[in-house]
Amino acid sequence: MDEQPVETTLYSLASGTPEPEDRRSGERHLSLLRVGALMIGDRRELCLIRNISAGGMLIRAYSKIEAGTRLSIELKQGDAVSGVARWTQDECVGISFDSPIDVLALISSANDGQRPRMPRIEVHCTAWVREDATVHRMKTSNVSQGGIRVEGHAELAVGADVIVTLNGLPPHPGIVRWKDGSAYGIAFNRVIALADLVAWLQEQRELPRAAGSLA
């Protein structure tokens, strides 16, 4: 039986402000978004954080916010980042930070105050997914300590045992938990240590810079 895809806060190493999302394919997702404290002047309220990048974030607000509004978001207790609302779409707001934040440092200390939640990080690279004797080349959308979202033309069966290989990480056995069009959610049998995942993400962040210096 297909499991319901879970919508969690997406972290990105990109430098820009997140763009509006197309929600048509994801309305049925179970939502476990990170909660943040939104401050506008002396007004303080909660919001849900859908996407965090180095340059901004996309939030779901519970009150109307006009484009151009200055505000701040508390990501951790006593640690707020300031910015401005660049766009609004229904209850969603795209915020541009006044200065970039270190997303990997935020991921390394990710703890929502109760139990640690495995951060989901946007990353675009090739994943090799082996099912029995067949190896499929697929595109990675995002990865967490506990699993990966891949896309491709392969026909993977929900419940199938697979082995996922990413350049720079050891192969990780897992199981296909859900399918949504050409996208698949694979849960790893063993959680990746957060330090190992962050170190790999640092390498991924450096790859474009290294390629640019050789050009």
Q: Are 49 and 116 within one domain?
A: yes
CB atoms within 10 A of CB 69: 16
The domain that contains 21 carries what CATH number?
Answer: 2.40.10
Q: What is the DSSP letter of 18?
A: P
Last residue of a domain, one of 120, 144, 159: 120
- Pick the last residue of a domain from 120, 144, 169: 120
Q: What is the dihedral of CA 69, 73, 78, 81, to 10 degrees?
A: -80
Dump the DSSP string for 169-212.
S--EEEEEEEEETTEEEEEESSPPPHHHHHHHHHHHHHHHHHHH
Partner residues linked to 133 by β-bridges: none
Are 108 and 137 members of one domain? no
Label residue 25 by pLDDT band (50, 70, 90).
very low
Give me the DSSP letters along 99-136: S---HHHHHHT---SSS----EEE---EEEEEETTEEE
pLDDT, position 23: 54
CA 173, 53, 10, 112 torsion-angle sign? positive
Whether residue 196 lies inside any domain: the answer is no
Instruction: Specify the CATH number for the domain of residue 181.
Output: 2.40.10.220
Does residue 69 contact residue 83 with C-beta atoms inside 8 Å?
no
pTM of the model as a whole: 0.75
* Pair 101, 50 in one domain: yes
Residue 208: inside a domain, yes or no? no
Rg of the chain's alpha carbons, rounded to an integer?
18
pLDDT reported for residue 112: 46
Are 100 and 179 found together in one domain?
Answer: no
* 109 and 131 belong to one structural domain: no
Alpha-carbon distance 48 to 55, whole Å? Answer: 18
Buried b (16+ CB within 10 A) or exposed e, 34-53: bebebeeeeeeeebbbbbbb
Give how many domains the chain has, as a whole number.
2
pLDDT band at 167 (very low <50, low <70, confident <90, very high): very high
Residue 207 lies in a domain: no
* 49 belongs to a structural domain: yes
Distance, in Å, from the CA atom of 148 to the CA atom of 122, rounded to the nearest integer, reads 10
Same domain flag for 36 and 87: yes
Q: Is the same domain home to 49 and 28?
A: yes
pLDDT at residue 120, as a whole number: 86
> Is 201 inside any structural domain?
no
> Does residue 204 belong to any structural domain of this protein?
no
Same domain, 145 and 52: no
pLDDT tens digits for 113-158?
444 456 788 999 999 999 999 999 999 999 999 999 999 998 999 9
Query: What average pLDDT does the chain have?
Result: 85
Identify whether residues 104 and 135 lie together within a single domain. Answer: no
- pLDDT at residue 213 is higher than 90: no
Could you report how far apart the first and last alpha carbons of the chain are, in Å?
Answer: 49
- Residue 76 half-sphere exposure toward CB, CA atoms < 13 A: 9
Q: Are residues 56 and 115 in the same domain?
A: yes
Domain end position, chosen among 94, 120, 146: 120
Structural domain containing residue 72: 6-120
| Residue 77: predicted pLDDT | 64
Same domain, 111 and 165: no
Token pair belonging to 13:
């190493």
Structure tokens that stand for 141 in this block: 């959308």
